[in-house]
Amino acid sequence: MTEACARDFAHRLLRVAADFAMPTRSGPDLAKAVVLAEEMVVAGCDDPTTIDVAALPRSVIRSDVEPLIREMLAKHGITLPSTGDEQAEYELLLHAFGFSDLPVADFCSHFWHQLPALEEQDDLQRTLTRLLDDLDHADPASKGQVIQHMREAVQRAKN
């Protein structure tokens, strides 16, 4: 059942993981993780770790619950990077951007920080650089389409 649960809730599991991986934010929305776990349990994803997260109050403190939420994410195939592992944070955010609704603003600063010199860039990095430039120059009506092209480029590269 865990594989089916991870597939059915992949988008939201990635968003919870991305919230944990973005050190520039005020911290993850722990209530989202608890609500997600509650909904997963209702849907039949009743592994012990997900049940434990679902049973938490929504006003929890990160230091009290982070190991449990990390364990729940790992149980569903998402490993959170260690604090300070910028490359792993970037890879998680890249995946979350491509396969969830992670806002481009939450992804692009990590992208620019990790971007190697032009001669060392892979096809995906060159494509995203071009599309971010397109996004910068797009009219408001076209921005959503450019972002969708960016997500599709990540999906093609990561599948």
As given in the structure block, the two tokens for residue 95 are 């995946």
13 CA to centre of own chain: 8
pLDDT, residue 91, reads 93
Long-range contacts, stretch 62-70, CB < 8 angstroms, 24+ apart: 62/27, 62/28, 62/30, 65/30, 65/33, 66/20, 69/16, 69/20, 69/30, 69/33, 70/20
| Tens digit of pLDDT at every position of the chain (159 positions) | 467 777 789 999 999 999 888 755 566 788 889 999 999 999 998 899 999 999 999 888 888 888 999 999 999 889 999 888 889 999 999 999 999 999 999 889 889 999 999 999 999 999 999 999 999 999 999 999 999 999 999 999 998
CA–centroid distance for 22 within its chain: 9
Q: What is the DSSP code string of 44-90?
A: T---HHHHHHHTS-TT--HHHHHHHHHHHHHHTT-PPPPTT-HHHHH
pLDDT value of residue 23: 58
Q: Where are the domains of the chain?
A: 2-75, 86-158
User: Which pLDDT score, from 0 to 100, does residue 2 have?
Assistant: 61
Q: Under 8 Å CB-to-CB from 44, ≥6 apart: which residues?
A: 1, 5
